[in-house]
Structure 1
Amino acid sequence: MRGVRVEPFSLRLRKPLGTANGEIRERRGFLVGVETDDGVRGVGEATPLPGWTESYVECRARLEELQDAADRGYEFDAATLGPAARHAVNLARMDVEARAREVALHDWLAEQFGTRRGGAARPATVPVNATVGDGALDETVSAAEIAVEGGFDCLKLKVGARPFEADEKRLRAVRDAVGDDVVLRADANGAWDRGTAERAVDLLADLDFSYVEQPLPAADLDGHAGLRGRGVGVALDETLYDSSVSLPLNIRDYADVLVLKPMALGGPGPTLSLARYLRRCDVEPVVTTTVDAAVARAAAVHVAAALPGVSPCGLATGDLLAEDLADDPVPVIDGESSVPEGPGIAGVTFDSLLRY
């Protein structure tokens, strides 16, 4: 690589976002630009999120090493980077490749990873879900109704932060409010023990929820396996990114769905490779962001667009940010995120963000 540039950014959230690792008020990350000898440029984004990726400090240090190596003309093994930094570098390289061929990133990805076989159509949009937070009952119902009025037909409800009885009332109230035609999912972020999870799964099956995401702690694979076959799908998220957990080859015995975060997996390539493997195992991949900025969010939409028939994905996260790096290249309309068709990630939208 030549002409490598690394520039930091910081973006405020509209309101604090609670996570298992504490409250998030801003998203800090880095843009990584690369330029080939032929003058073709590509852009990537590293927005680390502790618990899923390396820390901000580690990400910054390694990307600075990368830029220094490029400036000195030295080789640098990007495979040694943490997942967020690796995501940025791999994405920038892919952006270069797609731009050089003057094709959209999702077309380049689909060709490289063989995900559109049998004449699958090139999508203009991908379906996305709305996320409803863990507020009080009235707040939850209101948020669900607003999302449905806004065109979303798939909602993911955060649960597990309250006693089960309180969540039960919230879940029943949302189903009553939105009716039977809206697809509902629940996300517990590993908050329940096995007994509570069993009660929850039976309730969710009764309310016709599609799946429950991470009902048990990340390491409890056997517990997740025991929840399957009770009328509601089981999705794994944190389990995939917990370094202490080795994902079994027979993943179908433990989950119906896996949540794939390109930022935490090291880029679009590893994400699509894993998605292909999951589909061979009859496990559905769902692509989500880690509340990323515009570059990575657009790239995640391209990843989803390279997967024919993908389920609604967790990509409608741009409105969580009070500010962004650029105008939203993947706006959400009626529960669908538009897929950029310019060369690379989004044509030349991001070129002005980096100083070469």
Structure 2
Amino acid sequence: MKFHFHLRPYEVPFKQEFLTSRTATVLRRGLFVIAESEDGIRGAGEIAPLEHFSDESLETAKAAAEALSRRLDNTDVPRDISRLTSFLEECVDGSLPPSVIFGFETAVSDAISRSKGMPLAQLVDPGFTRQVPVNAVMSGYTDSIDRHNLAGFTAVKIKVGAASVDEDILRIQAARDALGGDVSIRIDANRAWDFESAAFALSQMRDLRIEYVEEPLQESELSRFDELFSGCAVPIALDETVRDRDMFQRLIKLDAVTTVVIKPTVLGGIARSRELIDHAHKFGKKAVVTSTLETGIGIAACLHLAASLGERVLPCGFDTLRYLTDSLIEESLIISDGRMAIPEAPGLGVTLRPGPAQ
């Protein structure tokens, strides 16, 4: 199947500063990839490396995307999503930034699944589901449980590490009091704590029924996960570590690690992410698919990856479009009763709003 490719840059403001332990973000920037087949079928993907989190900058991704777009134009592209990543990298005689693979893979897969009249999730796995549970997200320290309608949500993710440890402890305790016992709490430290801070914080939270803590330790102390777990009994989830193949293979074997967080933008696309999920499952670990603050196109792609897991899907981190002033798609990806449904239309099921091509 042959395609013509176009790139379209975008900028979308956040409604207010999006705070993590690393930075405050006010503007989401990226590129859309539009793939148009000889039959006029169009697919869209999103290239949006996240500043201070992704390995590549947007400028690096843009240069790689422009080169790949020229190389791929009017070239036969595999219809099998499992072959797309290697094909894309072969086209440029080397590796590509993960966000670029994700964007081009999504655009091509969107068009192919549209041509077949099926959702993209079905292209990934015939055993897909149409309903994906979603966890609510509390970001920043002005974001509180009582501001959210949590009806139907079974999990809430809370960012920690940007304030003092004592403030984090009080915030998680308050969240548990507000939520009661039926909603699980996931906390995300983004490697903000040293061992002593993490050990103290998590020991104070051990009775709060924390589902897991994402990346509680600074990079230099990752080897102490088991030691940390033995002292606090709070399970650990891998996020940033998943990108480091050698470290990931070491840590996924630990009893302390129960969960792997999957972000297609930083891991190199849908097929690669699905491989990592299947690998985690072989070790008896859970996998949670999460956005990287993309617009509607990127969120829809992540949604289809999660839906491809069928009955194995867990509450995913897709409650992030509400932080942006605009999703840049025609349709709405609505969370209802704690779930997000894949659209009825084929492909991604969403349409990129018209804009200038590059």
Q: TM-score band, normalised by the shorter chain?
A: 0.7 to 0.9
Cα distance in 1, alignment partners of residues 244 and 119 from structure 2: 33
Corresponding residue number in structure 2 for 1:309 = 312
Corresponding residue number in structure 2 for 1:234 = 236
Equivalent residues in 2 for 1:146-157 (5 A)? Answer: 146-157=147-158
Of 120, 124, 128, the match for 2:130: 124
- CA drift of 1:149 comes to 4.2
- CA drift of 1:274 comes to 0.6
The answer to whether the 8 A contact 1:190-1:217 is kept is yes
Unaligned runs of 5+ in 2: 77-89
- Indicate yes or no: 2:32 matched with 1:31: yes
The answer to whether the 8 A contact 1:31-1:354 is kept is no
Corresponding residue number in structure 2 for 1:158 = 159
Q: Which amino acid aligns with 1:231?
A: A
The answer to whether the 8 A contact 1:52-1:264 is kept is yes
1:71–1:178 Cα change, 3 Å: closer
1:187–1:39 Cα change, 3 Å: same
Q: Answer with 271-280 or 44-53: which moved more.
A: 44-53
- CA drift of 1:353 comes to 5.2
1:22-74, Cα deviation, whole Å (9 max, x unpaired): 32111111111122334332211101113224101111111122233345879
Cα distance in 1, alignment partners of residues 228 and 331 from structure 2: 39
- Indicate yes or no: 2:9 matched with 1:12: no
- Indicate yes or no: 2:77 matched with 1:100: no
Of 277, 280, 295, the match for 2:279: 277
Question: What's the Cα RMSD here?
Answer: 2.5
How many residues align? The count is 340
Identity of aligned residues (%): 31
The answer to whether the 8 A contact 1:219-1:239 is kept is no
Q: Which amino acid aligns with 2:12?
A: L
- CA drift of 1:21 comes to 4.8
Corresponding residue number in structure 1 for 2:341 = 338
- CA drift of 1:226 comes to 2.2
| Matched position secondary structure for 1:256 | strand
The answer to whether the 8 A contact 1:144-1:155 is kept is no
1:271–1:58 Cα change, 3 Å: same
The answer to whether the 8 A contact 1:218-1:242 is kept is no
Cα distance in 1, alignment partners of residues 17 and 221 from structure 2: 29
- CA drift of 1:328 comes to 4.6
| Matched position secondary structure for 2:125 | helix
1:322–1:237 Cα change, 3 Å: same
- Indicate yes or no: 2:97 matched with 1:82: yes
- CA drift of 1:185 comes to 1.3
Of 315, 320, 323, the match for 1:320: 323
The answer to whether the 8 A contact 2:35-2:108 is kept is yes
| Matched position secondary structure for 2:210 | coil
The answer to whether the 8 A contact 1:287-1:314 is kept is yes
1:225–1:148 Cα change, 3 Å: farther
Q: Which amino acid aligns with 2:189?
A: A
Corresponding residue number in structure 1 for 2:180 = 179
- CA drift of 1:305 comes to 0.8
1:190-213, Cα deviation, whole Å (9 max, x unpaired): 111112212222222211111111
Cα distance in 1, alignment partners of residues 225 and 173 from structure 2: 23
Q: Answer with 15-24 or 92-101: which moved more.
A: 15-24
- CA drift of 1:255 comes to 1.5
Cα distance in 2, alignment partners of residues 247 and 309 from structure 1: 21
Cα distance in 2, alignment partners of residues 175 and 19 from structure 1: 21
The answer to whether the 8 A contact 1:78-1:86 is kept is no
The answer to whether the 8 A contact 2:7-2:357 is kept is no
The answer to whether the 8 A contact 2:229-2:235 is kept is yes
Q: Which amino acid aligns with 1:99?
A: R
Unaligned runs of 5+ in 1: 117-121
Cα distance in 2, alignment partners of residues 73 and 314 from structure 1: 35
Cα distance in 1, alignment partners of residues 203 and 149 from structure 2: 25
Cα distance in 1, alignment partners of residues 21 and 101 from structure 2: 24
Corresponding residue number in structure 2 for 1:258 = 260
- CA drift of 1:329 comes to 4.1
1:79–1:144 Cα change, 3 Å: farther
The answer to whether the 8 A contact 1:261-1:271 is kept is yes
Cα distance in 2, alignment partners of residues 26 and 130 from structure 1: 21
The answer to whether the 8 A contact 2:189-2:216 is kept is yes
1:258–1:72 Cα change, 3 Å: closer
The answer to whether the 8 A contact 2:236-2:259 is kept is yes
- CA drift of 1:352 comes to 4.3
Cα distance in 1, alignment partners of residues 353 and 207 from structure 2: 50
